[in-house]
Structure formats: C-alpha cells, structure tokens
C-alpha cells in the first residue's frame, strides 16, 4: 500500500540519476523530451545530424537544481547503421545501462495536396510532386530508423531494467496523429510512414517485453518544431502562432501544444511501468474531428 506522501508528483515522476538517450534531441519535440527528463534529474544524451544544433541546445537549456544534464553526442544519422553503431559504442563506453530511449528523429517528406476533382488533374499533381525516392526517404527516417535505433540499444536498455529490478527501461517513439487519421493532409508519404511507426511501436512492445523493455508511443498534434515552422531560434526553439493552427479548422484547442503538455506525456510514459504498447495521442482534440481508424 502506498502512503499519501509517496504519491507526490515529485516522487511519482522523478528520474533522478536515470540515463536517457534522445534522438532528434536538438530541436522540437526531442528537445522538449530532453528538457523534462533533465529537469527531473536525468542524465540525457541528445543526438542528431547537426552537431552545432546539439551543442546549442545543451548550452541554452540548463536543467535546474536536481542534478540533471543535457549532453550532446554524435553526430548521428539514424538512417545509417554505421552511425548507430558508433553511437552505441560512444554511449556504452560511458554508461553501463540506458533507462530510456526516445526516438524523436524524423522528417516530413514531399507534399502534394489532393485537392483536384478531375482524375487527370489529380494524377498529374500527385505524380509530378511525389517520387519513389521521396517516399523511401521518409519511410527510412520515420520507421526503419526507429526500428534499428531501438535494436541497437537493446542490450543497454535491458541492463537499465536489471539495475532497477522491475519493468522500468523503455522506449518512447514519437509518432504522430497523422499516423492514426484518414485525412492525408497533403502528405501521403508522411502519414503512411507514421502509420507504420504506430504499428511498429505495437510490434516492438509485444516482442521486446520478453526482455522486460516497454515500448510506447506519443502521437503529437501540432507542436512547435522545425517540421511545423521550418525554423528555430538561437535557443533551438520554434514558435507556432495560434492563428496558424486555427487556420486549419480542425483543432478544437485552437492553439498548438505547449512544451509543458509534451513534457507531461513524456514523464507519464517514462515512469508508468504498467503501460506497454500504447499510442498516446496528444493532439488538442483533432482526432475527435478528423476521422481516425
């Protein structure tokens, strides 16, 4: 039986002295995840393709008083096995285990709005604005890379579970509400890939639970990131005005999600060891308006 004192938010969501790794950790949702983990006491390694972005993110965002750290490592292109192996060797040389892996790296890919009512015109638009190469690139980054990143770190994750003595080590995959809805949003390849990411989460959760490693996913709606705004500031943060979200006409919250709201989702899936194989939509109510599966 838990005492009332033990149910304080500070105790429930502490990741004091945890070791975490966040791919795509230099900007956007990856950086949000790194911030909340470090703010609650974790040592957080962040990686990505741009070393300068990683270093700026670590320098600009100090965790606070609980002793957490944000540490740039890599750089690493998660679509390359050699880079993932080097990253594994780099982390394993410093740490005996990893408690949490957050797979936040991803790309948006090509876009073509299917807004033509004549089949010939629709074919021309989609045919000319999308390519096999573009589809393969977004699938590699958003699905295949998630799989191989997770596989690469299975030994350190299992060691992270063993040091805690219960089902604690886990993977959080950043998918998207786009992988759940039927609306193409003008990017068939991205939505199809994120649908693959959603299902991959479920497959890995079932297969890797034998290693006592949980796998869950956050399916975000509109959050400020370089993917949604095309830029970030000197602090590696992006700004998404509420008016831009309101223009879409299908967001009941009428604003983008906040860093705090993403942070709450990350901590929940990180610490609740009774949750496995779940897709947590944090979307401002979009999936109540736009049809899902």
3-state SS assignment for residue 229: helix
Pair 5, 81: CB distance under 8 Å = no
Question: What b/e readout covers 76-87, taking b as 16+ CB neighbours within 10 angstroms?
Answer: bbbbeeebbeeb
Rounded to the nearest 5 degrees, what angle is found at the Cα of 172, between the Cα atoms of 168 and 177? Answer: 145
Catalytic residue among 45, 139, 170, 175: 175
Q: For residue 175, indicate whether it is catalytic.
A: yes
Rounded-to-integer distance, Cα 63 and Cα 224, Å: 20
DSSP state of 257: P
Rounded-to-integer distance, Cα 264 and Cα 274, Å: 17
Catalytic residue among 190, 205, 225, 271: 190
Q: For residue 45, indicate whether it is catalytic.
A: no
| Cα dihedral sign, 238-239-245-248 | negative
| Number of Cα atoms under 13 Å in the Cβ half of residue 274 | 0
Rounded-to-integer distance, Cα 132 and Cα 150, Å: 26
Rounded-to-integer distance, Cα 142 and Cα 135, Å: 11
Pair 262, 282: CB distance under 8 Å = yes
List residues bridging with 281 in a β-sheet: 219
Catalytic residue among 194, 205, 225, 237: 194
List the catalytic residues.
Answer: 175, 190, 194
């Amino acid at each position: 039986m838990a005492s009332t004192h033990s149910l304080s938010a500070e105790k429930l969501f502490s990741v004091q002295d945890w070791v975490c790794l966040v791919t795509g950790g230099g900007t956007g949702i990856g950086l949000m995840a790194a911030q909340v983990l470090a703010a609650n006491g974790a040592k957080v390694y962040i990686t990505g393709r741009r070393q300068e972005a990683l270093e700026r993110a670590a320098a600009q965002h100090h965790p606070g008083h609980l002793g957490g750290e944000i540490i740039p490592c890599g750089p690493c292109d998660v679509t390359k096995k050699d880079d993932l192996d080097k990253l594994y060797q780099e982390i394993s040389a410093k740490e005996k285990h990893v408690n949490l892996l957050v797979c936040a790296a991803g790309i948006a890919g090509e876009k073509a709005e299917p807004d033509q009512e004549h089949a010939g015109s629709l074919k021309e638009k989609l045919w000319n604005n999308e390519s096999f190469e573009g589809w393969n690139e977004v699938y590699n980054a958003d699905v295949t890379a998630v799989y191989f990143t997770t596989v690469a770190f299975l030994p350190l994750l299992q060691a992270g579970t063993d040091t805690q003595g219960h089902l604690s080590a886990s993977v959080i995959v950043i998918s998207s509400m786009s992988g759940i809805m039927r609306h193409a949003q003008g990017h068939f390849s991205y939505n199809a890939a994120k649908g693959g990411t959603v299902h991959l989460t479920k497959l890995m959760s079932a297969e890797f639970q034998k290693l006592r490693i949980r796998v869950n996913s956050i399916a975000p709606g509109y959050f400020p990131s370089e993917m949604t705004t095309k830029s970030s500031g000197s602090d590696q943060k992006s700004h998404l005005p509420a008016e831009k979200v309101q223009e879409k006409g299908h967001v009941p919250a009428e604003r983008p999600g906040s860093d705090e709201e993403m942070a709450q989702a990350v901590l929940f899936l990180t610490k609740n060891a009774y949750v496995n194989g779940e897709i947590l939509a944090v979307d401002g109510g979009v999936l109540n308006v736009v049809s899902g599966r």
